[in-house]
Amino acid sequence: MPSVEPAYIETFQNGLFKEKIEKAYELLRSCTLCPRRCKVDRMSGQTGICKTGERAYVSSYSPHFGEEAPLVGSQGSGTIFFTHCNLLCIFCQNYDISHKGYGYEKSSEQLAGMMLQLQNTGCHNINFVTPSHVVPQILAALEGAIEGGLSVPLIFNTGGYDSVETLKILEGVFDIYMPDFKFWDPGIADATCKAKDYPEMARRAIIAMHRQVGDLEIDEAGIARRGLLIRHLVLPSGLAGTREIMKFIAKEISLNTYVNIMPQYRPCGRASEMEELSIRLSSDDYNNALQAAEEEGLTRLDSRRRSFKIL
């Protein structure tokens, strides 16, 4: 398909960015940016679950080649890893970043500079990793980056614990939504991240994301330009509820949904607090997850999925 101009270009040209920025920052004054709804005044320096006030923190930024093939291409995905998180899974593989807060406070100008630097190195997109708690800061930085010539697709790479109200503000800004769908069972979500409502919030968010951008569209060069890509990390002993999640995607989203069923679970962080999570993933767990997706009719499964090896 022909190359499509990123959605945010038209939104910016139509003068809608300032309104979006104002709406997003207003949510910070009694923070309801995500489903945690901490209601702290982040603009005055108060912090809630995400431990982030008025400014965003960044742990690293660079071209990344470990993402899905349609995002990486030949020049990499331009990832910006935000520090802290609104979900805080006890088994997080980036525990130092999400829980311990490794990173540095950045201004809007510095964030804009990162985006332009990544674009200038040839990255196919700008990939915001764990962005749910810093949406206003991203929008403010984008305004400057667009003025500076930003022109590649934007990826909202999220844990899936997102507010539909916030996603409405982002309509016309992000080209690609890449949410996780982590757990189907509220009890597992409660035990692993103290977010019993995660399954319901993730379902609502993914429906809203798909309504905005549709199924994943890939150009002639094999690069994703727009659409939804869902990630699902397989957990030991079926804890993630993979079958139900795949059924939801097939019936409520689209049979044409691009899904990455990920086999890289290993005990990290505080995973040992749950006996079921203190072991590595087995080949049976992973193969059963693939079978569930295929039996539910999903065919656009990430091509690297069969590289799983028992360690």
Which CATH number do you get for residue 196?
3.20.20.70
Measure the CA–CA gap between 148 and 163, rounded to whole angstroms: 30
* Alpha helix positions (H), the chain: 7-13, 17-28, 69-72, 95-98, 108-120, 135-147, 164-170, 186-193, 198-213, 242-248, 283-295
**pLDDT tens sequence across 281-292:** 999 999 999 999
Supply the pLDDT for residue 304.
60
**pLDDT tens sequence across 97-139:** 999 999 999 999 999 999 999 999 999 999 999 999 999 999 9
Of all residues in the chain, what percent carry a pLDDT higher than 90?
Answer: 94
Residue 311 lies in a domain: no
Domain that holds residue 263: 7-46+54-305
Cβ proximity of 158 and 133 under 8 Å: no
| Confidence check: pLDDT of 307 > 50 | no
Residue 293 lies in a domain: yes
**pLDDT tens sequence across 65-86:** 999 999 999 999 999 999 999 9
Residue 278 lies in a domain: yes
Residue 160 lies in a domain: yes
Residue 60 lies in a domain: yes
| Confidence check: pLDDT of 251 > 70 | yes
Residue 1 lies in a domain: no
Total structural domains in the chain?
A: 1
Residue 124 lies in a domain: yes
| Confidence check: pLDDT of 219 > 70 | yes
Supply the pLDDT for residue 4.
74
Residue 26 lies in a domain: yes
Mean residue pLDDT across the chain: 94
Across the range 191-204, mean pLDDT stands at 98
